[in-house]
Amino acid sequence: MKFVDLCRQYNIEPVPLVQGMGWAYGVVDINPDCAESIYIQDERHTLTGTAAVTLQHPNIILANETYLAVTNASKDVTYQVDTDYKLIPGDRAVRPFDPARKPWRIARIETGRITDGQEVLVSYDYVPLSKSQSPSCPSDRRTYDIVDQTLTHTIRRFRPKYIHIGHDEVIRVGTCSRCQKRGLSKTDAGPLR
């Protein structure tokens, strides 16, 4: 507050920056599960014995409406975690979503319905490397809750005349399973570095 008061003494009105959907590092730092992920559908794996196989992408998000699904090749059977297969978690997804983080894996359970040597399809959401931008998911209500709380706190604390919402460019939207369920169109500007 000292800085804000000093600015106002000299007739300078500070304008707080509250990031929203685009460069949403504030939202994603508070809750990484609010990041706009990329939905991987039908990644092929062969499960042999009880050996674990590594999923191709780290930084998996399993929260709210995102999920990891394992099906047979014809997609008419969906297998159950802890009954048919084990999910071996990797590192929790956190910004900047480094691809070198510990990967997630799955392994067949001998007493389950997946036969030894069977090919399965795995679908899941993951967040790619994002050195600067981490857009938040417009389909996750928690995104708006975090922005609302931040705006409320900023208004109470600083009583600004203006707030810069810092929306900026949104590099990815509609790429996660949450957005696809809502029918949002995909936009992916690719990796910006």
With cut-offs at 50, 70 and 90, classify the pLDDT of residue 169. Answer: confident
Residue 113 C-beta-side C-alpha neighbours within 13 Å: 11
With cut-offs at 50, 70 and 90, classify the pLDDT of residue 190. Answer: low
Q: Nearest-CA neighbor of 90 among 74, 106, 109?
A: 106
Percent of the chain with pLDDT over 70: 94
Q: Nearest-CA neighbor of 106 among 137, 155, 62?
A: 62
Extents of the domains making up the chain: 2-32+132-187, 37-126
Residue with the two structure tokens 């949104």? 170
pTM for this model (two decimals): 0.85
User: In this predicted structure, which of 17-21, 41-45, 142-146, 167-171 has the lowest mean pLDDT?
Assistant: 167-171
Order of all β-strands in the sheet with 85-88: 52-54, 105-108, 85-88
With cut-offs at 50, 70 and 90, classify the pLDDT of residue 119. Answer: very high
Helices within 10-140 (DSSP H only): 25-30
